[in-house]
Amino acid sequence: MSVEGTMAAVGVQEVTLFLIVAILTGVLTKYFIRIQYIAALVIVGAILGLTPIFGGIEVRADIIYYVFLPLILFEGGLAIHIRHFRETVDVMLILAFPGLIVAMILVGYCVHILFDLPLLIGMLLGAIVMPTDPVSVIATFKKLGAPPRLTTIIEGESVLNDGAGIVAFGVVMGLIAAGEVNIPHAAIDFVRVSAGGAIVGILMGYVGTRILQYVDDHIFEVTITIIIAFATFLLAEHFHVSGIIAVVFAGLIVGNYGERYMAPPTRLTVSNFWEVVVFIVNAFIFLLIGIELTVGSFLEVGILNLVAFIFLVLAARGLIVYCTGIFYRLIKRPIPMSWQHVLVWGGLHATVPLALVLSVPKDMPERELLLTLTLAVVFFSLLVQGMSMDKFARKLGLIGLTEERREYERRLGLLLGLKGAMREVKDLMKSGAVHRSLAEKIIREYKNFEKELNENLRCVLEEHCELGEEEERMVRRASLES
């Protein structure tokens, strides 16, 4: 993929202000203003774009592609549970690869007709806008307790079709540069780049897992995960395969197998570190998306044209999701219709479309039109689909974590943290950093607390049998698959 910067770099002053704005926006949306955090960032970004300090900033596509995306997608891979991935991998692969290609072609032909653009330019726009970004949807689902299988499909399909979209973008750009359409060559190139990225990611994930096996220091282990993310991306790009797909698979391997060799406190440290990193990166991206808003360009293209294009993207997304649902109803375990509705409406378009459209060469005559249409889809996704996702999923009856489940998981988390704390105290005692008598006193206190927690958990499981049955099914399945 060819990536070019678009102008001014963001300086230290702007970075500091961005962080302050992101934190303040988070506090306001959590405690005072009931609005989706990401949607609030976009609105705040649009306001900042009117100020002299931020008005001249333009987003650099190379920073998004080489820095932000590897971090976001590696964390996405880390967060996917391998068991849920195995159960839904066929659905994710169909939506992410052939599904994206079909949607890209549909958008391309319609744009060719509606806007009188060359067919390849229409295909390029399809490759730009169809990759999805589940960040706000997944945050809502995890908070309110959506079905794990549905959450995995949305998250897994997104990280995979981000890679597929970037590969498709590169292939179409190559066809435009060559000035001719060679479908067999383009198809082979797409498969080679995608499969090559997956292979590199799996191998690098395995190497990272082996390294983590011999390291027992949370700082080094966090550092190793960072190195794995960027080394995987750069190695894949060096061999001209998809760095994005490689990073996803590396994260999947490290998150499910590398963590087996980590102590409980280290697992929590790694998880918390990557959550913070992705929070900061997303804050920057969505503020920058808001800053990119130019009402004048929207009016120039025409509101009706923008609305028509947004509905076209939604229709293309609906086509691939519902056709996949029909296919699975015929051959195996069906995908519930309510899930299909969520997959359509929850297929938000944000980070990757922004990076791709900014990568279009500046000398391409259609660049400004592509940028305007893409930003219209991004704004609609974040401000309409993203903000309504909570109510939409509730209406379909897909979210609603019970208080009992929430309390049970809280106590399990405390128990996990307590076991890690006792191990840490024992290590400090062995190294001589803490006197034995003091360490033994602390461990006794922790053991009493552990006993109390275990008793509480036993009472919860006895009072709410469904929780125990659910946990038992999960443990039995995991033990059979291990």
391 with 418, same domain: the answer is: no
Q: Is 354 exposed, middle or buried (0-12, 13-18, 19+ CB in 10 A)?
A: buried
Q: How many CA atoms lie within 13 A of 304 on its CB side?
A: 2
Angle at 369 between CA 366 and CA 375, to 5 degrees: 135
Q: Using an 8 Å Cβ cutoff, are 271 and 75 in contact?
A: no
Q: 187-198, pLDDT tens digit by residue?
A: 888 999 999 999
Same domain, 388 and 437: no
Q: Has residue 420 been placed in a domain?
A: yes
In a domain, 35, yes or no: no
Instruction: Please tell me the predicted confidence (pLDDT) of residue 147.
Output: 74
Q: Give CA separation, 378 vs 166, 190, 390, 472, in Å.
A: 17, 25, 18, 42
Q: Range of 419's domain?
A: 403-481
Let me know whether 144 and 100 are in one domain. yes
Residue 274, domain CATH: 1.20.1530.20
Which of 395, 417, 438 represents a domain boundary (last residue)?
Answer: 395
Domain limit, last residue, from 344, 375, 395: 395
Q: Are residues 390 and 434 in the same domain?
A: no
In a domain, 461, yes or no: yes
92 and 219, same domain (yes or no): yes
- 445 shares its domain with 311: no
375 contacts: CB under 8 Å, gap ≥ 6: 289, 292, 293, 297, 298, 354, 357
Largest CA distance in the chain: 81
Cα dihedral 379, 380, 385, 388, rounded to 10, equals 90
Residue 44 lies in a domain: no
Closest CA to 69 of 250, 245, 275: 245
387: in domain: yes
Instruction: Determine the Cα–Cα distance for residues 176 and 173; give it in Å rounded to an integer.
Output: 5
- 215 and 176: one domain? yes
Count of structural domains, the chain: 2
Helix orientation angle between 337-345 and 386-395, rounded to the nearest 10 degrees: 170
Whether the Cβ atoms of residue 130 and residue 316 lie closer than 8 Å to each other: yes
- Whether 386 and 439 map to the same domain: the answer is no
Residue 153 inside a domain? The answer is yes
260 and 335 in a single domain? The answer is yes
Same domain, 110 and 147: yes
Q: Assess whether 75 and 206 both reside in one domain.
A: yes
31 in a structural domain = no
Last residue of a domain, one of 348, 365, 395: 395
Residues 93 and 157 in one domain: yes
Residue 118 lies in a domain: yes
Task: Read off the pLDDT of residues 26-63 as tens digits, 9 standing for 90 and up.
Answer: 777 766 776 777 778 888 888 887 877 776 666 677 88
Residue reference for tokens 């889809």: 377
Q: Which residues of the chain have pLDDT under 50?
A: 2-9, 476-477, 480-482
